[in-house]
A and B are shown apart, each in its own frame.
Chain A
Amino acid sequence: MNRKHDLVFWLFLTPVLIAFIMVIIIPFGIGIFYSFTNWSATARAGQGISMLGFTNFANSLKDPSFAWSFIMTTVFTIINIALVNAAALALALAVTSKLKLRNIYRTSFFVPNLIGGIILGFIWQFIFNRGIPAIGGFIPLFANWANPENLMLGRVSTALFALSIVNTWQYAGYIMMIYIAAIEGVPQELYEAATIDGANFHQRFRAIVVPMIAQAFTITIFLTLVNSFKQFDVNVSLTSGGPSTIFAGKAVRGTELLAMNIFSTAFVGLKLAEAQARALIFFLVLVVFTTIQVKVNKRKEIEL
């Protein structure tokens, strides 16, 4: 034993090392192995597992529902990155100005983030299915909102947008906090000097705020990207994947995002090995997306 690795070193490290190996490393390894086998609900009951090679991956890629959820997840992620960051930055700029109630706003906008996606999804299901039609009944201008055919959760494109609205409502307050920290880190003298030189709000924003908080963009976009790509809770409670639509000649669940597709492949389709293969593809794509995003943002940071 190395002298530096004394008894206390091992005493303090062993508990987390055991948890790490038992909860992450071993299941991760088993999972990669399973994705190449015919592992299923019956195979685990004691019948042997045999190797299938890349069959699970091929079947996943051939399945329209998986391709569809990939497309929807990508679209959802792009909409979210734009919506969440635009809302968060606007809120951050507003609450760092001289508004009277700025401290109350700052705390309040954060509140939806404390509540789980499952519960938020149910609240918004009520709003989309009951609240918005009721507004249509009140105000003649929005009369067509009251028509059951126009329910936001009733059509795929609007239902996906509804998911984005809920996600933005939940997440913008958190991302706002990061922007606030970055904006408050900008030296006050810079603003004053620019104001004296006659720069207006737009010019100050473009020339001072954006370059100074470029580092924050890398983090906020990274967080929204990962968070949207892994979205599961709101998906389950708001739309449960519906409504159905036709893609590549097969009925698919219109707003079933990737995390939910993996879940239903395993627990509704009972194809455990194929779900595992999908999870592996999901993981690899997420790694590729985030790597590209961080690289691009880092380059932008330097340019700005």
Chain B
Amino acid sequence: MKTRLQGKTSLRVLEIVMFIVFIIYFYPFFLVLINASKAPFMVTSEPLKLPSDWSLLFKNIASIWTNPNIRYPSSFLTSIIITTASLFTLNILSSQAAWVLVRTKTKFSGLIFLTFVAAMVIPFQIVMLPLVSWFRTIHNVFGLKLLRTYGGVIFAYLGFGMSLSIFLFHGFIKGIPLALEEAATIDGCGKIRTFYLIITPLLRPIHATVAILNGIWIWNDYLLPLILLGKGAGIQTFPLAVVNFAGAFVKQWDLIMAAILMAIVPIVIFFLALQRFIVKGMVAGSIK
């Protein structure tokens, strides 16, 4: 009896402690919200107080929307284009490659797979400078423009994201029985059709995992677009726009907070809509 009672009190204490932790954990977001709804002098003089006039939030949002430095609508669109196009190419091309690597049991395919996996340890910092000079050489020699273009960034994301993606698809495809494909071959189904009609539908969960892992990375990435697109250039992703604006010497915190809020809200909504997949996918990605 005594131990059960003790268990109950300690659970109650934990309940309270966790609630406080939760409040502290979320307080930064709350600060963003309240300060995005203030006039500039209020942010400086009373950063912790609730705003006196919430309608300022909409005024600040509107001012970020039309700000010529941050170019919110166009940089948001750029981020969406780059992220979705990269995810499409990564998912399609990596799943295709992983499938032939699993199903072709030769020394060569084993070696290729090992090389891909080993490349995962290469940090971006060691490749970034030569990548720019190499892309410039490609432009000079072949006339193919990869710097300051959508194509170049998407191509680079394919290169940097494919190792982990192929690794995850590879692990999943190994678990699919070969008999399925053999039956399709006997029925006269070609290899490419077998992959798209039989295998691809089975890959749906791992496609979700790969898309989520790469999606969070690409959407938030700062260094790669900075290197390949340049600062303040024609095409800028959303993180670049935020740095251009918030990194300026004079800090307009009310507007910075509004910009941050506008950066956070879409991704949090996306997360809440898909959270089941995301959490499962993130964990699966790390453990494999």
Docked pose: A22 CA to B121 CA in angstroms: 17
Contacting B at CB under 8 A, from A96-150, are: 97-101, 105-119, 122-124, 126-127, 130-131, 134-135, 138
- Give the segment of B54-62, B68-76, B203-211, B275-283 that binds chain A: B275-283
Contact, CB under 8 Å: B133 / A5: no
Q: Mark interface residues in B157-168 (1 if CB within 8 Å of A CB, else 0).
A: 011101100100
Indicate if A62 sits at the interface (CB-CB under 8 A). no
Contact, CB under 8 Å: B287 / A178: yes
Q: Mark interface residues in A281-294 (1 if CB within 8 Å of B CB, else 0).
A: 01100110010000
Indicate if B14 sits at the interface (CB-CB under 8 A). yes
| Total residues of chain A contacting the partner, CB 8 A | 86
Contact, CB under 8 Å: A236 / B99: no
Docked pose: A22 CA to B146 CA in angstroms: 11
Indicate if A193 sits at the interface (CB-CB under 8 A). no
Q: Across the interface, name the chain A residue whose C-beta is closest to B220.
A: A116
Most chain B CB atoms below 10 A, which of A111, A122, A266, A287: A122
Contacting A at CB under 8 A, from B170-199, are: 191-192, 195
Q: How large is the interface on B (under 10, 10 to 19, 20 to 34, 35 or more residues)?
A: 35 or more
Contact pick for B97, options A13, A44, A127, CB 8 Å: A13
Docked pose: A275 CA to B246 CA in angstroms: 27
Interfacial chain B residues near A91, Cβ < 8 Å: 21
Interfacial chain A residues near B14, Cβ < 8 Å: 94, 97, 99
Indicate if A268 sits at the interface (CB-CB under 8 A). no
Indicate if B202 sits at the interface (CB-CB under 8 A). no
Docked pose: A266 CA to B127 CA in angstroms: 13
**Also in contact, A28 and B122, with CB within 8 A (given A13-B101, A130-B47):** yes
Indicate if A279 sits at the interface (CB-CB under 8 A). yes
Q: Mark interface residues in B124-142 (1 if CB within 8 Å of A CB, else 0).
A: 1111111101101010000
Indicate if A233 sits at the interface (CB-CB under 8 A). yes
Contact, CB under 8 Å: B283 / A178: yes
Interface SS of chain B: helix, strand, loop or mixed? helix
Contact, CB under 8 Å: A135 / B129: no
Give min CB distance, A176 to chain B, whole Å. Answer: 10
**Also in contact, A233 and B31, with CB within 8 A (given A122-B260, A282-B125):** no
Contact, CB under 8 Å: A30 / B105: no
Indicate if B39 sits at the interface (CB-CB under 8 A). no
Contact, CB under 8 Å: B279 / A237: no
Contact pick for A23, options B43, B159, B246, CB 8 Å: B159
Q: Across the interface, name the chain A residue whose C-beta is closest to B6.
A: A200
Give min CB distance, A137 to chain B, whole Å. Answer: 9
Indicate if B111 sits at the interface (CB-CB under 8 A). no
Indicate if A217 sits at the interface (CB-CB under 8 A). no
Give min CB distance, B70 to chain A, whole Å. Answer: 13
Interfacial chain A residues near B155, Cβ < 8 Å: 19, 22-23
Most chain B CB atoms below 10 A, which of A34, A126, A223: A126
Contact pick for A123, options B32, B124, B160, B162, CB 8 Å: B32
Indicate if B50 sits at the interface (CB-CB under 8 A). no
A residues near B (Cβ < 8 Å) are 2, 4-6, 8-9, 11-13, 15-17, 19-20, 22-24, 26-28, 30-31, 34, 39, 44, 91, 94, 97-101, 105-119, 122-124, 126-127, 130-131, 134-135, 138, 169, 174, 177-178, 180-181, 201, 219, 223, 230, 232-233, 236-237, 240, 259, 262-263, 266, 272, 275-276, 279-280, 282-283, 286-287, 290
- Known pairs A5-B109, A105-B18, A107-B279; list 19 more (Cβ under 8 Å): A4-B104, A12-B97, A13-B97, A13-B101, A27-B127, A28-B122, A31-B127, A106-B279, A119-B239, A122-B256, A123-B31, A131-B48, A138-B48, A180-B283, A181-B287, A233-B223, A240-B247, A276-B130, A283-B125
Q: Which 7 A-B pairs have the closest CB atoms?
A: A23-B159, A116-B220, A12-B96, A30-B130, A31-B130, A27-B130, A279-B126
